[in-house]
Every structure is written in structure tokens, then in C-alpha cells.
Structure 1
């Protein structure tokens, strides 16, 4: 039986008021960059007064501040050891600094990439136990995460898993008990989210099932195909399952099948999944220590190579055990036909418009008013906002049918 997570000694519950009125450079020492999150870069920082290591997300204010404020508001309302803690925020020049809990082992997807390995069933069960506890906490408070995937499950060095990155999270209210905007990451999105027929907390359960497959196989189902094609396939195809079922226990296969029920009304809740045999038999988080230590050693070796001039990061996904293969891990965020893929891979679909935008891959435009409304034009145009210069432009057309 999995042990309960105990609260670590955490001297800093919230930043002191006088800290929030000072310049952040006076309060923190930036120790290094951790990576890119939704909307901005994430840094490791030292809180000078307490000596505590924290994470700071620096968000350029030219991004959608409403979304950022929503993220902060949701994080502020959460008080769970299974959810990344929020400590406070600052405005600094053109950036908003969001100060959060630091999880020293990084995300589950980081660890898979670094080790060039998928996870064992034992490791997956232990991580899913904590992730389910986090979802149970959120859902009991009428909050939906909406972007559950291995990249948004962080581990600290002790092996505690925590849900992170509420950049696209939403809150259910009495007046809006269902949402009909497509927000999330395409490969992980529930069918009802893609179909825009309204959804609630169990959309996160589908995403958790896809995340289980991702941890077992190195990437989500349809991870090799273009995200726009995946969006057509997820609602129409049967629920995905394991490529090699013989490798996995009947309990694990049953757990995933319970998550991946296409009809949301028949899908189980987080609380119900906590009682599933696969989760009840999860081992204590010590089983994650070797995986975490291996990843830390590889990261240290890579940092040493980068210091010596080789900055390749090997950002790959795992295919069939431990063979690495590139795949498009784009995040989609849709609010009402505009599909917009940001630096962190977030895509917005606006059902009232017809424009699809993908940053690095160019701009995809569906012209629904043309004589042939199945034509999609692609043109590589603007580079990321903070990069200098522009990409050379080119264009090509694709038919919608070719995506299906």
C-alpha cells in the first residue's frame, strides 16, 4: 500500500509583505534557468532571507495577462502537497515574476527524455497515486486542470509528484457548470473537449489515462502524427490502448481502460480511481529514487558538456521501450477556429474564426469562405516575439482531407 505523503518542512509559506514591495533582485538570487513553461521561462532561485530554493516563472507582459492572473488565482486557492505551491508575484520591468515551489527532479517527461527510457509499471503506479490525489483535491473544489500530461507532473528529489502549470486550468462555477472551449494539449485531450460539447472534471481523467500510456510507451497515442490530424482521430476512433499489452499487468491495462472511456458520463472519478487495485498496490515513492538520481546525474553531465560549448539538448521522446524518437509535443488551447501555438506549444482554437497559427511550423489558415473550403494554406512567417529577425517565408497548401 502506498504511504501517505507527509508535509515537508517548509519554512516559507508565503512571501512576507515587505518582500513583495522590494525589487525581486533584492529578495532572490537567480541560480539558473530550468526551462520553458506555458507563457514564460522558469528559473531556479534562492530566497535570500530564508535560504529556501524556489522556482520563478518570468512572464513577458505582452502575453495574455488574463490567463496569467487566472493561473495565479487558481494556484493561490490550492493548499495541497500534491499541487505545486504559489508564494507570490512581482512586476519587474516588462515581466511578471511568479514565485512557486521548486521541484528538484523536474517533470516526468524531463526524466524520461534524460534517461532515454520509459517508466516501469511500478514507477508509473507510484506517480499516478500522487497525481490522482492532486486531481481528487482539485475536482473536490470544482477546479479542472485541463492540461494533464507527463510534462506537467513534477517530482521533487524525494519522489513526491505534484501537479503543475495551471496556465490553462479552469474553474467550474454554479453559473458555468460545463465548458465548451477547447483547451488542453491535443494528444491528451478528451473526445468531449475536442468536440466542444461541454465538459467537466472527468476530462482530466481521460488525460491521465493518456499520460499513463505516455509514461509506459514514451509518447501519447497518435504522438507521431500531426496534432491537427490527431484532433480529427481522437473523437472518431475507439479509445487507445497499449501497443504491446503482453508487457503489462491486467490491473494496469484495466486502470487505463477505466480512464479512457469515451462517454464522459460513464468515466470514473479521481476518487473512484484511488480505490482501483492498480493504485491501491502502488509502492512507496522510494521506488522512484533511482530513476530521479539517474536523471540528475545525466543532467549534470549534460550541463558540463553545454559549459564546454555543446548545447544540444536531445529533446526527444521514447518509442518502444528506450528508442528515442522526435515527436511534436504541442499544446493546444482553444477558446471559441483560431489555433495558436505559442513558444511553449500552446494552441488556441477560436471556433468563431477560421485561422490556425503555429509559431515555429508556420501559419496554417483555413479559408472557409473560398470556393474550395477544404484548402489549408501554410506560410512560415513571424518568428517568436523575443527573437530578432524573421524566418524566410514559404507557402504550401494542404487539404483538410489529407489530415484525416
Structure 2
């Protein structure tokens, strides 16, 4: 029950199925919108708006001991008003004291934290690593190591000091990524701390300026394929609009 989480509305059980009813998020996923034939990669200012909301959702989850374990652009859905919501909790887990050292490899390879790959224990910080990968995904249309096959990519995630950060990023976003990519999960800042990072704070101040209060400056039709995941499950295709945010005049 949070504005940045796809809301659970109810369920219906039959003899053979459990139907889970979730709110409909009309704009589809960020992964679909950044495709080269759609909106393309986001500028840093727009990515900051969405990543801040992702972190708000993670603060809510982590405070309840819930780890998402599959943060990526395909699992971040958007509304026409520019609100983003975390979706697809199929591999999420709720940690108890006994679960802290649970050994399981769960998630999507290119967004997976090293401690998950090494089966040394999932934790809230594993989601933070995935946030860093998602930032690069939104800015370049692909996560780190995407040019590699999954198994070599997993090896590099474990062996490298940190994933490669593309050239041309601002110092603020580069620092943000380095914090997300701390190899030792204990050293990674939590979601609440990252919300105070200068990259997000500066973007928030810019988006609140008077000339940027109208959120409807991008208004383009985007055809969402039938495989697009509107609420963590497959659904019908339809027309929608590209995501919008209050600082979108900058793009």
C-alpha cells in the first residue's frame, strides 16, 4: 500500500487457479519506453525523477523486511502522470532473522548483485546494486555487461571491482553509481540515504522551479506490445503515452 508500489486489490481462488488482482498501470514499463524505436535513453535529469520514486518504494519495502530481488526497467511501471511503481514480486522475499543468510540465486543476471551470485546471502543492499544497474539501463538502454552472455556477465560482476560506468556521465551520477556498486554489501547506503544524494536532490530542486511545473510536455503515442508487463503479469496490448515528469522540459 504505497504510491510507488503496484497495489494489491484482491484475489479470487478457484479449484485450479489463484487469480491475483492488481491495479492497472497504463503506461507500461520503463524498459519498453527506452527502446530505440520508442522514447530512447533518458537524460540524467529525467532518470533522477524516476529513480527517486524507485527508492521511495524500496524504503517502504525494506522497512517491512521485504526484498524485491528483481529491480530492473521491465519491473518499473509508469502512469500517464509520471508516477512510477515497482511491480512483479514473483521472487520477492520477506526476511526474518533466520532468513538473513538464505542461499539462493534469484533475479535477472545483468542486474544481480555479487553476493546473490556467490550465494552469500540476499539482503536489502542487493536491491541497491540493482538500482545502480537500472540507472545505467535508463541512460544507455542496457544494463552493465549486456554485450556479454549471461554466464560471462555473472563472472564479471563477481570478479570486477565494480561494473563499468559509461563515459560522459556527470560527476554526481558517477558518484551515485559508485555508492550503489560497493562490492561489500555492508558498505552500500540504504535507499533512504541515497534519496539524499546530490544527484537526486539537485534534480528535485530543478523540477520544482516555476517554469517546470507542467508535467505534460511529452505526449506521444506508444504502442505497448502484448508481452509488456503492466502489473507484473501479462495482459492485453493497448495504446498509451510516454512517461512524463515535472522536470521534463529539460529533455
Q: Give the TM-score band, short-chain normalised.
A: 0.7 to 0.9
Q: Does 1:252 align with 2:173?
A: yes
> Which runs of 5 or more residues in structure 1 are unaligned?
1-78, 304-310, 312-404
Q: Does 1:269 align with 2:190?
A: yes
Secondary structure, aligned partner of 2:103: coil
Deviation string 1:289-342 (CA, Å, 9 cap, x unpaired) is: 445x32xx1318x89xxxxxxx9xxxxxxxxxxxxxxxxxxxxxxxxxxxxxxx
* Alpha-carbon offset, residue 240 of structure 1: 1.4
Equivalent in the alignment of 2:50: 127
Of the three residues 221, 224, 229, the one matched with 2:147 is 224
Contact 1:154 1:162 in 2 (8 A): yes
Secondary structure, aligned partner of 2:34: helix
For residues 93 and 120 of structure 1, the distance between their equivalents in structure 2, rounded to whole angstroms, comes to: 49
For residues 112 and 289 of structure 1, the distance between their equivalents in structure 2, rounded to whole angstroms, comes to: 18
Of the three residues 60, 85, 88, the one matched with 1:137 is 60
Of the three residues 104, 124, 133, the one matched with 1:210 is 133
Distance 1:157 1:116, change over 3 A: closer
> Which runs of 5 or more residues in structure 2 are unaligned?
227-236, 238-251
Q: Alignment RMSD, CA only?
A: 2.2
Give runs of aligned pairs for residues 4-403 of structure 1, distance below 5 A: 79-91=1-13, 94-113=16-35, 115=38, 117-244=40-167, 246=168, 248-283=169-204, 284=207, 289-291=216-218, 293-294=219-220, 297-299=221-223
Contact 1:241 1:256 in 2 (8 A): no
Distance 1:287 1:133, change over 3 A: farther
For residues 116 and 92 of structure 1, the distance between their equivalents in structure 2, rounded to whole angstroms, comes to: 41
For residues 180 and 209 of structure 1, the distance between their equivalents in structure 2, rounded to whole angstroms, comes to: 22
Mark the structure with the bigger radius of gyration. Answer: 1
For residues 165 and 288 of structure 1, the distance between their equivalents in structure 2, rounded to whole angstroms, comes to: 27
Contact 1:85 1:100 in 2 (8 A): yes
* Alpha-carbon offset, residue 224 of structure 1: 1.9
TM-score by length of 1: 0.51
TM-score by length of 2: 0.81
Contact 1:189 1:206 in 2 (8 A): yes
